[in-house]
């Protein structure tokens, strides 16, 4: 059933969530080759590109709560992909060599995901849609 055929088609809550779940599912599929969820993947890329980045900074950029970031970091640490270093009340994060070796594969995941949706929507449409999402989000 298409989202537009649902009883709640006109509701932002419903429509937004349905789309987010669909997109999430596509992303999960794309990140399977590296055995990471999309959130873990994005977080790891952030650490690779910005060694020593702070936990708070990660939370801001990923727009997740600090507690959620802690949970993501825990798992990445278990997998030996990052290390956390606590200095005073701040925590900084570094990628391990294992993670560094993974970088090309991670980039491929991002690329594949981008191609997947931008081919389905058309590059033009998909870019302007993302911009539209920002505008809306900033107004709410």
Partner DNA sequence: TAAAATCATTTGTATATACAATTATTATTT
Partner DNA sequence: AAATAATAATTGTATATACAAATGATTTTA
Residue 27, binding choice from its own copies, DNA, none, Cβ under 5 to 8 Å by partner class: its own copies
**Which residue do the tokens 């294992």 mark?**
98
Distance between CA 91 and CA 66 in Å, rounded?
11
Q: Which of residues 23-82 bind DNA (CB under 7 A)?
A: 25, 37, 39-40, 54-56, 59, 63-75
| Residue 85 binds which entry of DNA, its own copies, none, CB below 5-8 Å type-dependent | none
Are the C-beta atoms of 58 and 69 separated by less than 8 Å? yes
Residue among 8 and 123 whose Cβ is closer to DNA: 8
The two tokens of residue 82 are 């990052």
Rounded Cα distance between 132 and 138, Å, is 10
Q: Which residues bind DNA (CB under 7 A)?
A: 17, 21, 25, 37, 39-40, 54-56, 59, 63-75, 84, 86-91
């Amino acid at each position: 059933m298409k989202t537009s055929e649902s009883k709640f088609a006109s509701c932002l809550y419903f429509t937004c969530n349905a789309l987010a779940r669909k997109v999430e599912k596509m992303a999960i599929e794309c990140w399977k080759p590296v055995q990471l969820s999309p959130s873990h993947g994005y977080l790891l890329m952030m650490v690779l590109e910005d060694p020593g980045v702070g936990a708070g900074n990660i939370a801001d950029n990923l727009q997740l709560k600090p507690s959620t970031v802690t949970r993501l970091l825990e798992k990445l640490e278990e997998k030996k992909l990052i290390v956390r270093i606590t200095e005073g009340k701040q925590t900084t994060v570094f990628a391990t060599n294992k993670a560094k070796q993974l970088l090309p594969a991670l980039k491929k995941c991002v690329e594949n995901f981008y191609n997947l949706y931008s081919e389905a929507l058309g590059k033009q449409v998909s870019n302007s849609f993302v911009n539209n999402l920002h505008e809306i989000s900033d107004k709410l």
